[in-house]
Amino acid sequence: MTAQDRPTALAGNGRRAQLSLFARNFFKHPRMLGSIIPSSPFLVRRLVERIDWQNTRVIVEYGPGVGTITRELLRHMPTEVTLLALETNQEFVDFLQQSLPDPRLRVVRGSAETIQAELTRLGLPAADYVVAGIPFSTMPATSRESILMNSLDALSPQGSMLIYQFSSKILPDLHRVFSDVECDFEPLNILPAKLYYCRP
């Protein structure tokens, strides 16, 4: 069985449960999620197409939620690639562990600020990609800077941080931390999303 053949979709009414869980947590923690529904296929595709799968060994995803992007990453990932998903919400952690029993996926309850410690704990090398949709615009400036600096330190020299946001507030911080920042836009999403591709 190839990576593309792995059953990463939920069976039966799984999609409904996925959306319900996401919406319920949005109303509980709106500042943590930023949107009432998961990312659109158009946004997910635009992010994932930036990944060089043949030269990737480790991907880190911040705030995977119900796994909309996680599933697409797993669908494309070769067998030897590891995906580390850092999620602070225990409901989402439980959901991902139950719905995506894939040996390439490590779901950890933890903050994006702990990326380096988690890579070390799991015996993983530097990340080739960090994928982040967490709402940087609503977090304290100190947390935002800490996450970006720790992400930079955790990336391999040829690595990239792929970010999507609904606000451009983070852009000055990205230019301050990364030497190369490319901007993009995906209108077919609720809300329309700004994308940033950042390299050390």
pLDDT of the residue at 190: 85
With CA atoms as reference, report the closest residue to 199 among 187, 186, 182: 182
Query: What digits encode the pLDDT tens for the residues 144-161?
Result: 999 999 999 999 999 999
Q: What domains does the chain contain, in order, with CATH numbers?
A: 40-199 (3.40.50.150)
Tokens linked to 7: 């059953």
The amino acid present at 148, given as its one-letter code, is: L
Query: What digits encode the pLDDT tens for the residues 182-191?
Result: 999 999 998 8
Query: What digits encode the pLDDT tens for the residues 89-121?
Result: 999 999 999 999 999 999 999 999 999 999 999
**Whether the model pTM is above 0.75:** yes
Alpha-helical (H) ranges within 38-154 are 41-48, 68-76, 90-99, 115-121, 141-154
Query: What digits encode the pLDDT tens for the residues 17-66?
Result: 555 555 555 445 444 444 445 789 999 999 999 999 999 999 999 999 99
Cα R_g (the chain), whole angstroms: 16
pLDDT of the residue at 39: 83
In this structure, are strands 155-165 and 105-109 parallel, antiparallel, or unpaired? unpaired
Please report how many Cα atoms fall inside a 13 Å half-sphere around the Cα of residue 138, on the Cβ side.
Answer: 12
